[in-house]
């Protein structure tokens, strides 16, 4: 069964390709390599021993998208990762974000509507909840005004899919709202490859550990949490990737309750920034240098998922811990810097 993974050479995309291949799916990857590297294809192949079909296509080029889908009309499902994801960059380049994340989504949905099998998985984010009023966050929590153009593209993306599902009953879609994906594949053959100075906590920690950065700035030490630092739900990227496979299978088996469903993907457990540092110290044997600085603009105090909907309906739950994720992230950092 042929599955298209857009953005399949990116961080979450590549891990999902591995899980799909290991479940026996034939994977076709589209990626424009704007924030990924062609070597990721070798990493995937080294793990699964199957080289996925790859086409370097920019989804902003509508004609290429059309051509691609007419060459692959036998696609049974699409997992759509391709998007820009840097919150800060999106504030400075809003139109680029709307074009990259919204324009391309529209083109892909237009082409999917011509296929026999219209199964579609969308990469969404817990950013749609903003600072939720109640924790843990259920899928019924209200969507709050977006803090950034990036966050807005996820909200608008969900709305576009929902509206399309209303008029196209053949389209079966699941939006997956990720909490904070971290870690790398345990084989250490694929992982996160941030460009420039990392904006996210875990790659910043591992780069500090390896000596590329002097110290970590912990953004905010007076949040109303037990240790004063902000709380997030850090989910191992392999657990996250597995969820895409079960969500897709639900659509293929037509087990979905409606043609637009939403699931949170998190562990259900919140960890503070200091707890993440402690995990890194445990795993690496280091004593990470950090200092507490001002809060980062737009950051929320705490977010962690209520996972029972995904657990019960998808039959999926996380299996890996924060320490597992830090261990793989640390091994990956050491590998990429020493090779
Ligand atoms: N943090 C630091 N120092 C750093 C980097 C981060 O203290 O150098 C802190 C942040 O303040 C936050 C936590 O570590 O409390 C996690 O920060 P990340 O940047 O790793 O993740 P965010 O929760 O800010 O962002 C993530 C995704 C976004 C998504 C957002 C939704 O990266 O794509 O969740 O809330 F929009």
Q: What is the pLDDT of residues 29-45, one digit of tens each?
A: 999 999 999 999 999 99
CA–centroid distance, 140 to ligand 1, in Å, is 23
- Assign 338 a pLDDT band (cuts: 50, 70, 90): confident
Report pLDDT for 49: 98
Q: What's the confidence (pLDDT) of residue 205?
A: 98
Query: What pLDDT score was predicted for residue 231?
Result: 98
Q: From ligand 1's centre to the CA of 200, what distance in Å?
A: 5
Q: Is the pLDDT of residue 247 over 80?
A: yes
Give the residue-averaged pLDDT of 312-327. Answer: 98
Task: Give residue-wise pLDDT tens across range 55-76.
Answer: 999 999 999 999 999 999 999 9
pLDDT in tens, 103-115: 999 999 999 999 9
pLDDT for position 135: 98
- Percent of the chain having pLDDT more than 70? 100
Q: Residue 319: what pLDDT?
A: 98
Closest ligand 1 atom number to CA of residue 154: 36
pLDDT in tens, 161-183: 999 999 999 999 999 999 999 99
150 catalytic, yes or no? yes
pLDDT in the model for residue 339: 77
Q: Which residues line ligand 1 (CB under 6 A)?
A: 85, 87, 125-127, 151, 180, 199-201, 204, 216-219, 230, 232, 273, 296, 299, 303
Confidence of residue 227 (pLDDT cuts 50, 70, 90): very high
Average pLDDT score over residue span 301-314: 98
Q: 201 CA distance to ligand 1 centroid (A)? A: 6
Mean pLDDT confidence for 311-331: 98
Residue of 101, 192, 201, 240 to test ligand 1 pocket, by largest number of atoms within 8 Å of CB: 201
Per-residue pLDDT tens digits for 193-218? 998 999 999 999 999 999 999 999 99
| Annotated active-site residue in 97, 107, 129, 150 | 150
Q: Which residue, judged by its Cα, is nearest atom 7 of ligand 1?
A: 218
What is the predicted pLDDT for the residue at 217? 98
Q: How far is the CA of 276 from the centre of ligand 1 (A)?
A: 12
Whether 17 shows a pLDDT value over 80: the answer reads yes
Nearest CA owner, ligand 1 atom 5: 201
3-state secondary structure labels for all residues of the chain:
CEEEEECCCCHHHHHHHHHHHHCCCEEEEEECCCCCCCHHHHHHHHHHCCCCEEEECCCCCHHHHHHHHHHCCCCCEEEECCCCCCHHHHHHCHHHHHHHHHHHHHHHHHHHCCCCCCEEEEEEEHHHHCCCCCCCECCCCCCCCCCCHHHHHHHHHHHHHHHHHHHCCCCEEEEEEECEEECCCCCCCCCCCCCCCCCCHHHHHHHHHHCCCCCEEEECCCCCCCCCCCEECEEEHHHHHHHHHHHHHHHHCCCCCCCEEEEEECCCCCEEHHHHHHHHHHHHCCCCCEEEECCCCCCCCECCECCHHHHHHHCCCCCCCHHHHHHHHHHHHHHHHHC
Choose which residue among 7, 143, 219 to substitute to test ligand 1 binding: the one with the highest number of ligand atoms within 8 A of its C-beta: 219
Instruction: Give pLDDT, residue 129.
Output: 95
Cα(273) to centroid of ligand 1, in Å? 9
């Amino acid at each position: 069964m042929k599955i298209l993974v857009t953005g399949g050479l990116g961080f979450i995309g590549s891990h999902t390709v591995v899980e799909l291949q290991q479940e026996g799916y034939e994977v076709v990857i589209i990626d424009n390599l704007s924030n990924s590297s062609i070597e990721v294809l070798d990493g995937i192949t080294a793990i699964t021993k199957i080289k996925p079909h790859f086409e370097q296509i920019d989804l902003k080029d509508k004609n290429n998208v059309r051509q691609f889908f007419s060459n692959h009309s036998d696609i049974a499902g699409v997992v759509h990762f391709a998007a820009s994801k840097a919150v800060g960059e999106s504030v400075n380049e809003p139109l680029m974000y709307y074009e990259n994340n919204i324009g391309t989504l529209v083109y892909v949905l237009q082409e999917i509507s011509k296929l026999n099998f219209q199964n579609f998985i969308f990469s969404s984010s817990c950013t749609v909840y903003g600072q939720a009023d109640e924790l843990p966050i259920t899928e019924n929590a209200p969507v709050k005004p977006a803090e950034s153009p990036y966050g807005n593209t996820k909200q608008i993306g969900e709305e576009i899919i929902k509206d399309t599902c209303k008029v196209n009953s053949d389209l079966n879609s699941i939006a997956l709202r990720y909490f904070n994906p971290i870690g790398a594949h345990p084989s250490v053959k694929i992982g996160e490859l941030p460009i420039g100075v990392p904006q996210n906590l875990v790659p910043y920690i591992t780069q500090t550990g390896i000596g590329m950065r002097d110290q970590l700035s912990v953004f905010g030490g007076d949040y109303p949490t037990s240790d004063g630092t902000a709380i997030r739900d850090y989910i191992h990227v392999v657990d996250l990737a597995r969820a895409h496979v079960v969500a897709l299978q639900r659509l293929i088996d037509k087990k979905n309750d409606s043609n637009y469903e939403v699931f949170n993907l998190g562990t259900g457990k919140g960890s503070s920034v200091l707890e993440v540092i402690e995990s890194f110290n445990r795993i690496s044997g280091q004593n990470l240098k950090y200092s507490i600085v001002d809060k980062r603009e737009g950051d929320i105090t705490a977010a962690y998922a209520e996972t029972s909907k995904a657990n019960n309906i998808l039959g999926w739950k996380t299996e890996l811990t924060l320490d597992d994720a830090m261990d793989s992230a640390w091994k990956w950092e050491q590998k990429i810097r020493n090779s």
